[in-house]
């Protein structure tokens, strides 16, 4: 009698299968939810939502250049200046520069030594203009240059400057 009692399982095999299936469904459902949250967070991070300077209207920033390094910039109600460094590794000649589509060819063309600084000056406020002091801006910067070694012309179009009008 004792042997018969021990060989009997308190769970029938069908009950265990149902429990396993429901546990798996539970885990898969939560897995998809977590994956969706991670994807949404990655998209928000990529678009710059978590950038404190965008939220709080922080200080001046710049970057995004391919062959130049951002150093500094200023933008007032009547002029702008952008300072970038030559990261090409050899002498270049800068032929033209634009900030927000406005030509800033003051003093160009100019030769820039390796690791040297280039100052791009605009005598007017770039872009649509009319920005009041304290207004936020986000402008693209484009630099046309010639590599002195190869003689080929190039365009660096990925640069940007952000901040508030001084």
Torsion of CA 81, 86, 91, 95, to 10 degrees: -40
Confidence at residue 1, expressed as pLDDT on a 0 to 100 scale? 47
Give Dmax (Cα) for the chain.
105
90 and 131 co-located in one domain: yes
Q: Mark whether 30 and 96 lie in a shared domain.
A: no
Please tell me whether residues 82 and 133 are part of one structural domain. yes
In a domain, 130, yes or no: yes
Mean pLDDT of all residues in 11-33: 79
- Which residues span the domain enclosing 67? 56-164
Report the C-alpha gap between 51 and 166 in whole angstroms.
21
State percent of the chain over pLDDT 70. Answer: 81
**pLDDT for residue 122:** 83
Q: What tens digit of pLDDT does each residue of 114-158 get?
A: 989 988 888 776 666 667 777 788 888 999 999 988 999 999 988
Shared domain for 64 and 122, answered yes or no, is yes
Domain count, the chain: 2
CATH number at residue 134: 2.60.40
Answer whether residue 51 is part of any domain.
no
Type and span of the H or E element at 16? helix 13-46
Supply the pLDDT for residue 16.
66
């Amino acid at each position: 009698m004792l042997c018969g009692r021990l060989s009997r399982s308190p769970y029938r095999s069908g009950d265990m299968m149902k429990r396993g299936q429901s546990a798996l469904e539970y885990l898969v459902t939560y897995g998809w939810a977590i994956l969706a949250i991670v994807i949404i967070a990655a998209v928000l991070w990529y678009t710059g939502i978590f950038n404190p300077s965008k939220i709080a209207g922080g200080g001046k920033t710049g970057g995004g250049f391919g062959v130049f390094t951002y150093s500094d910039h200023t933008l007032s109600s009547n002029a702008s200046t952008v300072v970038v460094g030559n990261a090409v590794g050899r002498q270049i000649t800068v032929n033209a520069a634009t900030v927000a589509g406005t030509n800033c060819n003051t003093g160009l063309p100019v030769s820039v030594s390796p690791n040297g600084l280039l100052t791009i000056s605009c005598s007017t406020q770039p872009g649509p203009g009319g920005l009041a002091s304290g207004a936020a801006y986000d402008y693209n910067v484009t630099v046309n240059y010639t590599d002195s070694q190869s003689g080929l012309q190039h365009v660096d179009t990925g640069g940007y400057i952000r901040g508030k009008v001084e």
